[in-house]
Amino acid sequence: MVELIVVIVTILLAAGVFFMLSGAIGLLRLPDFYTRLHATGKCDTLGEVLIIFGLLLYHIFVYSPGAELSVQLVPVKLLFLIGFIFLANPTATHAIMKAAYNTGVKPWKKGDPRM
């Protein structure tokens, strides 16, 4: 049972790292401010949530059995964290986007040189 959980946790962590990595590659490869926000805004959300979910499973099944109540409640905090990330990440992306648009950052069009 514990071995199975560890395998699942490893897969979740690896998937999370993969999405964070593709977000970082997108940040470097994409041509302008707006398209870069596409990469960071979306990949970071899922990457972080997958990593936190992996930690949550590990904590419930491997780390905390037999521990005191305040230690067993850590997964609840991680769940709250997932909720806040889902709420805060798109909002922050949108706020940065709006600020850039209102201050006149020109969007890149297909065929333009990289900025």
- Judged by the rule CB under 8 A, the positions of this chain that interact with another protein are 18-19, 22-23, 25-26, 29-32, 34-35, 37-39, 41-43, 45-47, 68-73, 76-77, 80, 86-87, 90-91, 93-94, 97-98, 101, 107-110
Alpha helices by DSSP H, listed for 1-115, are 2-29, 33-58, 69-72, 74-102
Q: How far is the CB of 3 from another protein (least distance, A)?
A: 27
Q: How far is the CB of 62 from another protein (least distance, A)?
A: 19
| Residues in contact with 96: Cβ distance below 8 Å, sequence separation at least 6, in sequence order | 37
- In the numeric block, the tokens 């850039």 are attached to 100
